[in-house]
Amino acid sequence: MSSTIVPEIEKRRARRAYSEQAIDQETMERIFTAATLAPSCSNKQSWRYIACTDEPALEKAREALNGGNYWARKAPLLVVATAVDDFDCKLPDDRNYAQFDLGLGVMAMLLQATREGMYAHPMAGFDSFKLRENFGIEESVRVVTMIAIGYPGDSDHLNEKHLASETSERQRKPLEEVVQWNGYQPVTGE
């Protein structure tokens, strides 16, 4: 990779070997401040985050994790990231910016956590209905992702597949597969 890329972008990976070491409040506030500094359509900032750090809140979040995300149970901070469509730009051609803006906020959060020496892993493997029930999230709010955040830890609790991904080389599609210069060609394959 190029040394002109922001180091946290190059370093960030979806790691799973977490320590249960607590994260101090100041550090967590820097991570969430980074998220709130992300751009948003007309500065509407439609994102809302539930920061689960105490045992009752963590257990509510853990109950919603799918089996494949067993490793996230060790993270000392689980974040439920939501978007409120009605608080954001909705254009008549079916462009709704709430989820896009939330993605920008989550990326800022991931990069700040990486700078702090932590792992931050967004997940799709959870039951959004269980999160709604456990936290009283109303229907008008989209539950988009959960993020496990914590310091690196031992990998002895990981299954064989996840252990291999911890040490494997980072795989990214080449630019020529994802960037179309000066025109559009129909997308084929995955």
Residue 38 has pLDDT above 70, yes or no: yes
Question: What is the reported pLDDT for 92?
Answer: 85
Could you tell me which CATH number the domain at 38-163 has? 3.40.109.10
Question: Within its chain, how far is the Cα of 42 from the centroid?
Answer: 23
Binned at pLDDT 50, 70 and 90, residue 1 comes out as: low
* Range 165-174 average pLDDT: 87
Question: What is the reported pLDDT for 91?
Answer: 83
Contacts 24+ apart (CB under 8 A), 29-37: 30/112, 30/116, 31/109, 31/112, 31/113, 31/116, 31/120, 31/149, 32/109, 33/112, 34/108, 34/109, 34/111, 34/112, 35/105, 35/106, 35/108, 35/109, 35/112, 36/105, 37/108
As a whole number, the mean pLDDT across the chain is: 92
User: Has this prediction a pTM greater than 0.85?
Assistant: yes
Binned at pLDDT 50, 70 and 90, residue 2 comes out as: low
Question: What is the reported pLDDT for 58?
Answer: 98
